[in-house]
Amino acid sequence: MKLFSKIALSSIVLAQFFWSCKTEDNSEAMNSNFITVSAEENFPVMVEQFADLKVLRYQIPGWENLTLKEQKLVYYLTKAGLSGRDIMWDQNYRHNLTIRTALESVYTNFSGDKSTAEWAAFEVYLKRVWFSNGIHHHYSNAKMKPNFSSEYLTSLLVATNTVLEGEAFEVIFNDKDAKKVNQAKDVDNVAASAVNFYGPGVTNADVESFYSKISSPDPKKPLSHGLNSQLVKVNGELQERVYKSGGLYGEAIDEIVKWLELAQGVAENQAQGDALGLLIKYYNTGDLQTWDDYNVAWTAATDGNIDYINSFIEVYNDPLGYRGSYETIVQIKDFDMSAKMAVLSKNAQWFEDNSPLFPEHKKKNVVGVSYKTVNVAGEAGDASPTTPIGVNLPNANWIRAEVGSKSVSLGNITNAYNNSGSSGRLKEFVNDDQEYELEKKYGQLGDKLHTALHEVVGHASGQLNPGVGETKETLKNYASTLEEGRADLVGLYYLYNPKLQELGLVTDWKAVGMAAFDGYIRNGLMTQLIRLNLGDDVEEAHMRNRQWVSAWAYEKGLKDNVIEKLTRDGKTYFNINDYEKLHDLFGQLLRETQRIKSEGDFAAVQDLVEGYGVKVDQVIHAEVLERNKQFKSAAYGGFVNPVLVPQTDSEGAITSIDVNYVESFVGQMLYYSENYGFLPEVN
């Protein structure tokens, strides 16, 4: 298939690309047509909004307080992350890079009538594809349908001398590969998912059979088999195509390694440098033992102001939970918030000892739980444009148990989200003035604490029974939603607890807990439904877990009217009548979810998720969508990244690094394709 491999960026696009909070002359920025704007105050978070999506900006607080060496480290790590950007596109769907290249060629080269409704629809579709790293919605996993005809796209291709043909063209308009990740019950999840982790003809049974024959050298330290490979059939035989230098995605991986080696040269300390060395070795070899060695070293490297996440990590996009999506987040420590939140890490054992878990499921020694609030300096892959607000890694249960884990809250991301919306939607869905005032006064604090408890205490809590296999093997396609719900329940259970006030984290634990409970139930039973089309099932793991937690608590509390369903003027509301009893219900469900995980009880997790987390009350869903029509704020948010621009002396040595903030989502996406497109269109 012949397509343009590079996109010629026009000077008009570049001129709309950047604006900077700096006012001094910046020759590189000016020569690249960056726009210089003073934005020290009233930072404009919003970039643009289209379809169900809004694009935001985040600042990098404290950048100027870093040493030049630390700034170089951040710069090199950011460049390393962006170098692997196209890996995520290809992982998401086999035709994504082909389709993106063609659409971008049309966008930059079309000189015809751009005032038509179809051209406007084409622009929106391209932006949606950029936002989701492919043609499937980043959250619902459903293939996005364009609001223009195939005939119109053909005319654009002809007008711009761009070739897009065969399945890559047809799939934009037909019903094939309709779901990126299909978690439905009673289907072959691998065969029914369009995600590019598995080759044609590979089935659930193939995957399970293939990995059942592979053992780890140390059964107590199982390797993450399948994490960094694609599983395909070659002449009927299953084979792994490993992501490594010289292997699958090798062109991009070599660029990642180049920048990681520069980062290692400016590491803050020996432990950080050693961990980077192991990550480089892992990329070069694809060896999963090296991956575990790296994670042990990375987890123990807690000193320093800079940290990062980089590689094939989260397995949410694999319907069976084996394969990791490419992801990178570069982080700068938020000194003030980290000091305040470190108390959770120091008291992790107290939370474990006082949890409602069965005694045999409690850890006797919760080790190495490291929690920081950080400010993001750059993201790519599975973390961009959409990003988490909290992360807990590594994922291997044995490393968590023996070495510990790192938990971070992305402070500047959370702040940007909080400053991007209005209170109108909240007023529409709260039951009464008391609930509204609680949310306004304590809601943001409750959210931050829930994230912290979820990541620090939740994911670190509990243990598997002796002899029980890894969760992805025992709970299969329900593993991710069970784990996220379990961690949510830990957070909910302790949000309504005087211990938080005793630790100095809140001044009114009961009010914070009430606000958090209100918000969780309101979201789980109603407001998150604005993200779904009417008639859709819930597919995404986190969204499922919020629904099954909330729906289970509602049903189990019916006898005592713990959560009351009210109707006024044709509108539905959920009101919590007894926070103490709801707290107890959350404790009961936490005990059960940990039992399911500890025992590997597949039948129980299937009943829980399918019974409470998948199907949607269509009457309420229709009502929620109708009530939400009045609000302009999009349901989903994502971000453009700041751009780090190094200044150099006459010998090419970096003397300083400026932060520039992007003006245009379109400009950043085209710039990324031009400068970080290291993969062929077909891999």
Tens of pLDDT, residues 590-625: 999 999 999 999 999 999 999 999 999 999 999 999
Which tens digits make up the pLDDT trace of 373-384?
A: 899 999 999 999
Q: Is residue 25 predicted with pLDDT exceeding 50?
A: no
Encode 209-241 in three state secondary structure: HHHHCCCCCCCCCCCCCCCCEEEEEECCEEEEE
H/E segment holding residue 477: none
Average pLDDT of the segment spanning 301-322: 96
Integer angstrom CA distances of residue 224 from 10, 219, 284, 288, 664: 45, 12, 17, 7, 39
Q: State yes or no: pLDDT of 332 exceeds 80.
A: yes
Taking Cα atoms as reference points, which of 297, 248, 308 lies closest to residue 274?
297
427, two tokens: 């007023």
Instruction: Tell me the one-letter amino acid at 136.
Output: H
pLDDT value, residue 363:
93
Predicted confidence band of residue 219 (pLDDT cuts 50, 70, 90): very high
Structural contact between residues 647 and 20, judged by C-beta atoms closer than 8 angstroms: no
Sheet with 643-648, strands from edge to edge, namely 35-36, 18-20, 654-662, 643-648
Q: Which of the four pLDDT bands, split at 50, 70 and 90, describes residue 422?
A: low
- Cβ atoms of 680 and 95 closer than 8 Å: no
- Secondary structure of residue 638 in the 3-state scheme: strand
* 418 vs 37 pLDDT, higher one: 418
Among residues 643, 666, 678, 654, which one has the least CA distance to residue 63?
643
Q: How far apart are CA 286 and CA 242, in angstroms?
A: 6
Say which residue the tokens 């394709």 belong to.
673
Range in 132-146, 195-209, 269-283, 442-456 with the lowest mean pLDDT: 442-456
For the stretch 630-645, pLDDT in tens is: 988 888 999 999 999 9
Mean pLDDT of the chain: 91
Measured CA to CA, the distance from residue 198 to residue 191 in angstroms comes to: 8
* Global confidence as pTM: 0.81
Residue 109 pLDDT > 60: yes
- Mean pLDDT throughout 136-147? 95
- The share of the chain scoring above pLDDT 90, in percent, equals 82
The yes-or-no verdict on residue 350 having pLDDT over 90 is: yes
Tell me how far apart the alpha carbons of residues 194 and 91 are, in angstroms, rounded to a whole number: 10
- How many residues appear in the chain? 683
Paired strand residues for 392: 407
Of 57-66, 363-372, 511-520, give the lowest mean pLDDT range.
Answer: 363-372
Inform me whether the pLDDT recorded for 338 exceeds 90: no
Q: What is the mean pLDDT of residues 520-533?
A: 94
Predicted local confidence at residue 603, as pLDDT: 97
